[in-house]
Structure 1
Amino acid sequence: MSQFPRLETKRLLLRELTKNDSADIFQFFSLDEVTKFYDVESFTNIKQAEDLIQRWNERFEASQAIRWGITLKSENKVIGTCGFHGWMKNHYKAVIGYELTPEYWHQGFMTEVVEKVIEYGFNTLGLNRIEAFVEPENVGSRKVLEKIGFREEGILKENYYWKNRFVDNAIYAFLKSDYKVH
């Protein structure tokens, strides 16, 4: 892949992140309620946001991942991100991840975004399987995945170590054979 793809939903534009988005990324990654189920500590300075954007963009350039900035069509402010990592082209699968500024929670934004991103994954990237790893207590994220069509496959006990503890993950998957275009 060379050019970063732009995706559009009814209310949102998904686009490449740039250093100019650092303040927006810092704003929500500095909130404990956003990073509670995330594998990073809450940000304490803008450089952390700049470094994260740089890492995401480097992984895209290396065809290892893709992470979109989520913006409202009415303004250019980044309110969250969504994308694929753990991308295994030879195995036709990837892991989806996302987060959203709390003021936009419970309004259907993330459902809208994830639907568009999985459509891109199946139809453009040629994925056969999209996975999501969610802490069992992250009820909001689990509801988003289930609403879209992901199925829980089980609990991976102490699957990750972050924030000084072992963390269980519910593993969800969406298979292309179960995907129906809306």
Structure 2
Amino acid sequence: MKQFQFNDFPNVKGSRVSLRQIMDADIPDLIEISFYDAVQAETVEQAAEMQARIDRDYLDGNSIHWGIVDNETLQIVGTCGYYRGLDQGEGELGCVLLPQYYGQGYMTDGMSLAIDFGLNTIGLKRIWAATSRENGPAMKLLERLHFVKIADLSYGEIEYELTQPK
């Protein structure tokens, strides 16, 4: 069941970064961060196939996946989006950053835009995220964005849930 319907793919403009649809021309630059069902692409062809599946998921109303773009350079620095739960008015928020952009605040800015979009445009009632216990930077990112740990999952991951700042 479709939970949201947009005539045009929703691009989200922020002051430092923007979220936009990933285009075919972007795919060669995103191979190392192209994933679908926890499988990483190894070739441009695999990344393109994964992106086609992601695009189909969007058209079916099951997910939304953006490229995070530096507004000054217009380079895609990473990706983020909602990948599960939309049919229940919830969203699992995920993200991946190209290594050369680590530690520069891009993911904080991109995820903040995605959170605002999820809450205020899609109308999500719950946003959650999961990361591995070994991914300290992701845990710090989630905590900075007002997520709190809610569960230790059996397969080496931790689940976080967004709390609204008071």
User: What residue is the counterpart of 2:16 in the other structure?
Assistant: 11
What are the within-5 Å matches in structure 2 for residues 14-163 of structure 1?
14-26=19-31, 28-29=32-33, 39-41=38-40, 43-89=41-87, 91-158=88-155
Identity rate of aligned residues, in percent?
A: 29
TM-score, normalisation: structure 2 = 0.89
In the alignment, the residues of structure 1 paired with residue 33 and residue 21 of structure 2 have an alpha-carbon distance, to the nearest angstrom, of 18
Aligned-residue offset at 1:179: 4.7
In the alignment, the residues of structure 2 paired with residue 117 and residue 29 of structure 1 have an alpha-carbon distance, to the nearest angstrom, of 18
Runs of 4 or more off by more than 6 Å in structure 1? none
Q: What is the CA deviation profile of residues 17-37 of structure 1, one whole-angstrom value per residue up to 9, with x for unaligned ones?
A: 1211111111x338xxxx8xx
TM-score, normalisation: structure 1 = 0.81
Q: What is the CA deviation profile of residues 106-146 of structure 1, one whole-angstrom value per residue up to 9, with x for unaligned ones?
A: 11110111111001001011101101011111111110000
Q: What is the letter of the counterpart of residue 104 of structure 1?
A: Y
What is the RMSD of the two structures over their aligned residues, measured on CA atoms? 1.8
Aligned-residue offset at 1:52: 1.7
User: What residue is the counterpart of 2:159 in the other structure?
Assistant: 171
Segments of 5+ residues of structure 1 without an aligned counterpart are: 159-167
Judge conservation of contact 1:70–1:81 (CA < 8 Å) in 2.
yes
Segments of 5+ residues of structure 2 without an aligned counterpart are: none
In the alignment, the residues of structure 2 paired with residue 147 and residue 75 of structure 1 have an alpha-carbon distance, to the nearest angstrom, of 25
Aligned-residue offset at 1:39: 1.9
In the alignment, the residues of structure 1 paired with residue 127 and residue 165 of structure 2 have an alpha-carbon distance, to the nearest angstrom, of 11
The number of residues matched between the two structures is 160
In the alignment, the residues of structure 2 paired with residue 124 and residue 87 of structure 1 have an alpha-carbon distance, to the nearest angstrom, of 16
Judge conservation of contact 2:77–2:106 (CA < 8 Å) in 1.
no
Q: What is the CA deviation profile of residues 76-106 of structure 1, one whole-angstrom value per residue up to 9, with x for unaligned ones?
A: 33221000011333x3211001001111111
Judge conservation of contact 1:24–1:79 (CA < 8 Å) in 2.
no
